[in-house]
Amino acid sequence: MCLHNIFFPQILLTLLFIIILTAIPPFRHKFHDTFEISHRYLGWSCLIILVLHQIRFQFIIALNQAYPLETLLTNPVLLMIALMIFSIFLPWISVQCFDNFRMHCPSEGVLVVTLPGRADVGTFARISLDGIEWH
């Protein structure tokens, strides 16, 4: 057994464990920025590690087949990874920038943001003032 076959899953499980620990409500409330950063960057890291590990593993399997390209294109694992990546990026494709919004702060810790237009059922908004922090 190769070292990287053990190494990738251990890294993935460690990162997922850290994400889970930071999501525990007392920790999340006390260290909210750490929670946000760990979920953003460790989550992306987990996705990248999973994709690289599975693509490498599936290519090794496909190379031992009679028709490697057909094996890759019909492989359910690679198709699920492609669907997962597409579903993660789909909401970010439709992000729009609004300059004409209103902000109202009724109390400390609460900010009401009103965007122009009408929201349909099932729509949501990502709010960012600097393009880095999103809520």
Highest mean pLDDT, choosing among 17-21, 58-62, 106-110, 131-135: 17-21
| Predicted pLDDT at 2 | 57
pLDDT digits (tens, 9 = 90+) for 3-48: 556 677 888 999 999 999 999 999 999 998 889 889 889 998 998 9
Q: What sign results for the dihedral spanned by CA atoms 94, 99, 102, 104?
A: positive
Tokens coding 2: 């190769």
Question: Which residue from 59, 57, 42 is spatially nearest to 7, judged by alpha carbons?
Answer: 57
Collapsed DSSP state (helix, strand, coil) of residue 42: helix
Helices within the chain (DSSP H only): 3-22, 25-30, 32-37, 43-63, 68-73, 76-93
pTM of the predicted model as reported, rounded to 2 decimal places: 0.67
Tokens coding 5: 């076959």
| Predicted pLDDT at 15 | 93
pLDDT digits (tens, 9 = 90+) for 92-125: 787 777 778 888 888 887 888 887 777 777 777 7
Question: Which residue from 135, 128, 132 is spatially nearest to 96, judged by alpha carbons?
Answer: 128
| Predicted pLDDT at 21 | 94
| Predicted pLDDT at 30 | 92
